[in-house]
Amino acid sequence: MTLKLPLCGFFLWMAVGIAPMSRAQTPAPSPAPAKNCIGKANKAKISAYVMLLRLRWDLYAKWRDTGKWPDDPEANKALEGHSEYWTKNLKEGRAIVAGAMGGDYWDNAAMIVFEADSLEEAQSLANNDPAVKAHAFQAQVRPFDVFWVTNKFQDGMSVCTEQTGNTGQGTIPQAEADVQEALRSVRTLNTALAMYNAAEPAKGYAASLKDLGPEGKGYIEKTLASGTRSGYTFDYQPESVPPGTVITHYTLVARPVKLLAPGEKSFFTDETGLIRFTKEDRPAKVTDPPIG
């Protein structure tokens, strides 16, 4: 995990419904859920821990005042070690999710959710973080219950509709489902691009979506890195700069693969993170209205 990352927020809830059964009447069996439906990746609650991170004040102040990450060799080395440390924990099955808030709140909203056998072990994992050791981060560890983790980032997953399956939560038109998924993908790409920019200050933003995928940093899954997902294409255009120059600007346009159907939208975003849309059959642009 690196800084300048939009927050990966958890909104956790559980809903239980009980439907009355008519006496002496056998209910019709429910259709089997499609195997590629987006839903929960975990079958039960995960008893985990959350590490809350706060950037050292002098580093944040320089970043805030200049808009650029301060050239602090010791902090840079510590943050590189921090990223490698939690990548290792991810591959070993401990880390579950990591993220940080973007914008003017970069100093106090980073977090990592991970598993440990005890609070003492969780605290030890936090204390051994190279950035915590170097005092680039302040860290607090608390117990954290994860009720569900989405499986949407696995290849081939899609929102279930009347045509693709039954989620138990009702059905929605296919066009609306595609729009919702496209908007989530745009937000995911903005997050991944901010992560890349923070991890590669000498390069800036990624030169292509492949740099964000499994062949690059591994921030996004293969399908999205290809530029096409769930009926939409994602046209990423970094600014054209001479070799060796930092990329500081990009545009991203998400548009349906087929002609715009009723209820569908095209989206536009850039490094500001603001997402705009149009219902017209054309690419969205910077002058279109922002989403509500």
Q: What is the pLDDT of residues 13-67, one digit of tens each?
A: 233 233 333 334 445 555 444 457 888 888 888 999 999 998 888 887 887 777 7
Contact 182, 79 (CB under 8 A): no
> How many other C-beta atoms are found inside a 10 Å radius of the C-beta of residue 72?
15
> How many other C-beta atoms are found inside a 10 Å radius of the C-beta of residue 282?
12
pLDDT, tens digit, 9 for 90 and up, residues 132-160: 999 988 899 999 999 989 888 888 778 77
3-state secondary structure 203-244: CECCCCHHHHCCCCCCCCCHHHHCCEECCEEEEEEECCCCCC
- Strands, DSSP E only, in 93-246? 95-99, 110-114, 137-146, 228-229, 232-238
Q: Which residue has the higher pLDDT, 152 or 286?
A: 286
Contact 27, 224 (CB under 8 A): no
Highest mean pLDDT: which range of 141-155, 170-184, 202-216: 202-216
Q: Out of 3.50.50.60, 3.30.70.1060, 3.90.550.10, 3.30.230.70, select the CATH number for domain 46-146.
A: 3.30.70.1060
pLDDT of residue 50: 94
Domain ranges of the chain: 46-146, 174-278
The answer, yes or no, to whether residue 166 has pLDDT greater than 50, is: no
pLDDT, tens digit, 9 for 90 and up, residues 220-279: 999 999 999 888 999 999 999 999 899 999 999 999 988 666 778 999 999 999 999 999
Burial (CB < 10 A; 0-12, 13-18, 19+), residue 267, is buried
The dihedral built from the CA positions of residue 180, 43, 10 and 131, taken in this order, carries a sign that is negative
Which of helix, strand or coil describes residue 251? Answer: strand
Which stretch of 6-15, 114-123, 148-157, 185-194 has the lowest confidence by average pLDDT?
A: 6-15
How far apart, in Å, are the Cα atoms of 185 and each of 171, 210, 275?
21, 15, 12
Q: Residue 52 is encoded by which pair of tokens?
A: 């809350």
